[in-house]
Amino acid sequence: MLHSSWRGFFRRTALAAALGAFAAGLTVVTPLATNAAAAGTLQQVTNFGSNPGNLAMYEYAPSNLPADAPLVVALHGCTQSASDYHTHSGWQKFADQWGFAVVYPQTSSANNSLSCFSWFDSTKDTRGKGEAASIKQMVDTAVAQYGSDRSRIFVTGLSAGGGMTADLLADYPDVFAGGSVDSGLPAQCATTQTAASGCQYSNQNLTPTQWGDKVRNSYPGYSGPWPRVAVWQGTSDTTVAPVNGTELRDQWTDVWGIGQTASSTQNLTGGTTESIYNDSTGKPAVALFSVSGMAHGLAVNPGSGADQCGSTGTYYLNYICSSYYTAKFWGLDGSGGQGGTGSLPAPSGLTVTGTTDTGASLSWNSVSGAASYNVYRAGTKVGSASGTTYTDTGLSAGTSYSYTVAAVDSSGAVGASSAPVTATTTGSAPKCYTDNNYNQVQAGRAHQSGGYTYANGSGQNMGLYNVAVTHTLKETSPGYFVIADSGC
Name the burial class of residue 281, with classes exposed (0-12), middle (13-18) and buried (19+) by CB atoms within 10 angstroms of its CB: exposed
Given 115, 159, 183, 218, which residue is catalytic? 159
Q: Where are the beta strands (DSSP E) in 196-305?
A: 228-234, 264-268, 272-278, 284-291, 298-300
**What is the rounded CA–CA span in Å between residue 39 and residue 24?**
27
Ordered DSSP codes for 140-189: HHHHHHHT--TTSEEEEEETHHHHHHHHHHHH-TTT-SEEEEES---TTS
Long-range CB contacts (within 8 A, 24+) of 198-203 = 199/120, 199/244, 200/1, 200/6, 200/239, 200/240, 200/241, 200/244, 201/6, 201/241, 202/241, 202/243, 203/241, 203/243, 203/247
Q: How far is residue 201 from each of residues 7, 241, 306, measured CA to CA in Å?
A: 10, 5, 35
Phi, psi for residue 432 in degrees, rounded to 5: -120, 145
* Whether the Cβ atoms of residue 187 and residue 201 lie closer than 8 Å to each other: no
3 state SS of 355: strand
Strand ranges of the sheet holding 101-106, from the earlier edge strand across to the other edge: 43-45, 56-60, 101-106, 71-75, 153-158, 178-182, 228-234, 284-291, 272-278, 264-268
Terminus-to-terminus CA distance in the chain, angstroms? 39
The three-point CA angle 128-134-135 to 5° equals 100
Name the burial class of residue 319, with classes exposed (0-12), middle (13-18) and buried (19+) by CB atoms within 10 angstroms of its CB: buried
**What is the rounded CA–CA span in Å between residue 412 and residue 415?**
9
**What is the rounded CA–CA span in Å between residue 78 and residue 114?**
6
Tell me how long the chain is: 488
**What is the rounded CA–CA span in Å between residue 103 and residue 82?**
9
**What is the rounded CA–CA span in Å between residue 174 and residue 308?**
32
Name the burial class of residue 221, with classes exposed (0-12), middle (13-18) and buried (19+) by CB atoms within 10 angstroms of its CB: exposed
Among candidate residues 422, 361, 359, 432, the one with its CA nearest the CA of residue 396: 359
Active site residue 417: no
Among candidate residues 162, 414, 387, 118, the one with its CA nearest the CA of residue 284: 414
- The residues assigned a catalytic role are 159
